[in-house]
Amino acid sequence: MGTANRTIDRVRCLLWVIGLTVTVTGCTNTHLVRIPRPIPTFGLGGAKIAKRVAPPAALPAPPVSQFSNPSVPPPPGEPKEELVGLATYYGPEFHGRRTASGERFNMYAMTAAHRTLPFNTTVRITNLENDKVAYVRINDRGPYHKGRIIDLSRAAARELEFEHKGTARVRVEIF
């Protein structure tokens, strides 16, 4: 019976120590202070090397000839349907990503996104503010913002002269 009492006393003592430890550590400050590590210089005598990278908007546009056939020829005949509304463009953030048609988006090609028109449909876009005209091919779905009827590539926005403004009131003629 003496051994059983000793074991029970040891368990009680152990539980009391664990409870005390939990109570004491719960009242302490647990926030760690991070000390920044020095940047390795790799034998440059403490000199820091800074890379200067131009922001994406400051990069010059590559020449059009770099891409395969970025222009869209005007289709024959008269337009079947006409829409008037707001157009926007999308560019660098989507460049190289897959479009809904499966091809890669090229912001330097004359392409557009429309919600319902079939892929490879050619449309004539007229900027109603300055009467500039561009022919584009539908290769993506969108726009996803209320009140907009078409999203154009950056090249088409540049052709219609609203690249810096961002949006333009346009007429879309469907062939």
Domains of the chain: 70-174 (2.40.40.10)
Looking at the DSSP assignment, which residues form a beta bridge with residue 138? 112
pLDDT tens digits, 120-165? 999 999 999 999 999 999 999 999 889 999 999 999 999 999 999 9
- Its pTM stands at 0.59
Tell me whether strands 81-90 and 133-140 are parallel, antiparallel or unpaired. unpaired
pLDDT tens readout for residues 16-71:
878 777 776 665 555 555 666 665 555 555 444 455 555 555 445 555 444 444 56
Q: Which DSSP symbol is given to 76?
A: S
